[in-house]
Amino acid sequence: MKKTKIAILGFGTVGQGICDILLQKKEQLKKQYNFDFEVVAVSDFNNGNVYNPNGLDISQMLEEAKAKKKFTKDIVKWDNITLIKKCNADVLCELTYTDLKTGGPAIDHCKTALKSGINVVTSNKGPAALQYPEMNEIADVNNVKFLIEGTVCAGTPVINLTDGPLAGCEISKIRGILNGTTNYMLSEMEKGMGYDEVLKIAQDLGYAEADPTGDVEGHDARGKVTILANVVMGASLKISDVPCQGITKITFDDIQKAKDNNARWKLIGSVEKKDGKIIGSVAPEMIDLSHPLAGVMGATNALTFSTDLLGDVTIVGPGAGRIETGFSILTDILKIHNSSLVC
User: Cβ closer to ligand HSE: 112 or 181?
Assistant: 181
User: Cβ closer to ligand HSE: 94 or 220?
Assistant: 220
Least distance in angstroms from the C-beta of 210 to ligand HSE: 9
User: Cβ closer to ligand HSE: 199 or 237?
Assistant: 199
Segment near ligand HSE (CB under 6 A), from 63-71, 72-80, 85-93, 175-183?
175-183
Q: Show contacts with ligand HSE in window 143-172 (CB under 6 A).
A: 154
Farthest-apart Cα atoms in the chain, separation = 62
Q: Please list the active-site residues.
A: 224
User: Cβ closer to ligand HSE: 107 or 118?
Assistant: 107
Buried b (16+ CB within 10 A) or exposed e, 147-156: bbbbbbbbbb
Residue 279 · residue 244 · CB < 8 Å: no
Least distance in angstroms from the C-beta of 119 to ligand HSE: 21
Of 4, 122, 124, 181, the residue at the interface with ligand HSE (CB under 6 A) is: 181
Q: Does 281 bind ligand HSE (CB under 6 A)?
A: no
Segment near ligand HSE (CB under 6 A), from 82-90, 176-184, 230-238, 249-257?
176-184
CB-closest chain residue to ligand HSE: 181
Q: Please choose, from the candidates 16, 278, 37, 32, the residue with its C-alpha nearest in 3D space to the C-alpha of residue 123.
A: 16
For 25, residues 6+ apart whose C-beta sits below 8 A from its C-beta are 330
Of 9, 107, 118, 208, the residue at the interface with ligand HSE (CB under 6 A) is: 208
For 310, residues 6+ apart whose C-beta sits below 8 A from its C-beta are 166, 169
Give all strands of the β-sheet with 146-147 in edge-to-edge order: 48-51, 36-44, 3-9, 91-94, 119-122, 146-147
User: Cβ closer to ligand HSE: 50 or 100?
Assistant: 100
Characterize the bridge pairing of strands 3-9 and 91-94.
parallel
Segment near ligand HSE (CB under 6 A), from 65-73, 126-134, 137-145, 174-182?
174-182
Number of residues that bind ligand HSE (CB under 6 A): 11
- Tell me which DSSP letter residue 316 carries: E
Give all strands of the β-sheet with 171-177 in edge-to-edge order: 277-288, 263-274, 171-177, 300-307, 311-318
Please provide the DSSP assignment of 135-175 as one string. HHHHHHHTT--EE-GGGSSTTS-SHHHHHTTTTTSPEEEEE
Contact pattern for ligand HSE over residues 294 through 323, marking x by CB under 6 A? -------------------------xx---
Of 17, 105, 155, 180, the residue at the interface with ligand HSE (CB under 6 A) is: 180
- Pairwise CA distance, residues 300 & 178, whole Å: 9
Contact pattern for ligand HSE over residues 210 through 249, marking x by CB under 6 A? -----x----x-----------------------------
Least distance in angstroms from the C-beta of 30 to ligand HSE: 30
Strand boundaries in the chain, DSSP class E: 3-9, 36-44, 48-51, 91-94, 119-122, 146-147, 171-177, 263-274, 277-288, 300-307, 311-318
Give the containing element (helix H, strand E) for 129: helix 125-141
Give the containing element (helix H, strand E) for 190: helix 180-190
Least distance in angstroms from the C-beta of 81 to ligand HSE: 25
User: Cβ closer to ligand HSE: 61 or 93?
Assistant: 93
Q: Does 11 bind ligand HSE (CB under 6 A)?
A: no
- Residues at the site binding ligand HSE, with contacts judged by CB under 6 A: 154, 179-181, 207-209, 215, 220, 319-320
